[in-house]
């Protein structure tokens, strides 16, 4: 909930360099341990996205984008982790993935940013503006997610055997 509030009241009104809007609420997907069921991950994505939409008065844009990103999260994460047992007990992070986490975070944030701006545009009326806005927001999102992860993330989830 805090991520959704921060997104709507702090980050959405911000337009870095006239184009970039960091989408920090996608961090919710990094907080979910891999052992969570796919349905749980989808529900987190759906409800967090819906909260951003309700508070930000947007018509389902963030709900659709975050739910789709949540659906693809584990498929992307599996590409970066070799040990299936560790994967089930940890959240995605540097401790689990090592340096590959940076690429995972880059792909996840890029996918989500692309989905948000594709859904927002509905057409490529001004392709240069679309690309500039998407790429700059992707980079801003990546940097903010990395900072959030370095400050608050990377902790081991509770084990349940």
Contact 60, 67 (CB under 8 A): no
What residues does each domain of the chain span?
26-152
**pTM of the model as a whole:** 0.79
Contact status, residue 114 vs residue 53, Cβ threshold 8 Å: no
Question: What span, in angstroms and rounded, lies between the C-alpha atoms of 73 and 123?
Answer: 26
Q: pLDDT truncated to tens, each residue of the chain (161 aa)?
A: 777 777 777 777 677 777 788 888 898 888 888 778 889 999 999 999 999 898 988 889 999 999 999 999 988 887 877 665 555 556 666 666 677 788 888 999 999 999 998 988 876 677 888 888 899 999 998 988 888 888 877 554 444 43
pLDDT at 84: 59
100-121 and 61-78 helices, crossing angle to 10°: 150
Length of the chain: 161
Tokens of 120: 């927002």
Token pair for 8: 């709507």
Of 49, 27, 31, the C-alpha closest to 141 is 27
């Amino acid at each position: 909930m805090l991520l959704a509030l921060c997104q709507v009241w702090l980050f959405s009104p911000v337009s870095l360099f006239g184009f970039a809007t960091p989408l920090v609420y996608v961090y919710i997907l990094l907080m979910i341990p891999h052992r969570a069921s796919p349905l749980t991950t989808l529900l987190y994505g759906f409800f967090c996205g819906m909260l951003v939409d309700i508070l930000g008065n947007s018509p389902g844009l963030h709900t659709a984008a975050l739910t789709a990103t949540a659906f693809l999260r584990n498929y992307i994460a599996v590409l970066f982790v070799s040990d299936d047992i560790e994967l089930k007990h940890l959240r995605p992070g540097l401790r689990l993935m090592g340096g590959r986490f940076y690429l995972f975070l880059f792909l996840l944030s890029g996918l989500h940013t692309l989905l948000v701006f594709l859904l927002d545009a509905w057409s490529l009326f001004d392709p240069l503006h679309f690309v500039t806005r998407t790429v700059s927001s992707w980079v801003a999102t990546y940097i903010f997610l990395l900072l959030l992860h370095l400050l608050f993330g990377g902790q081991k989830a509770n084990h349940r055997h």
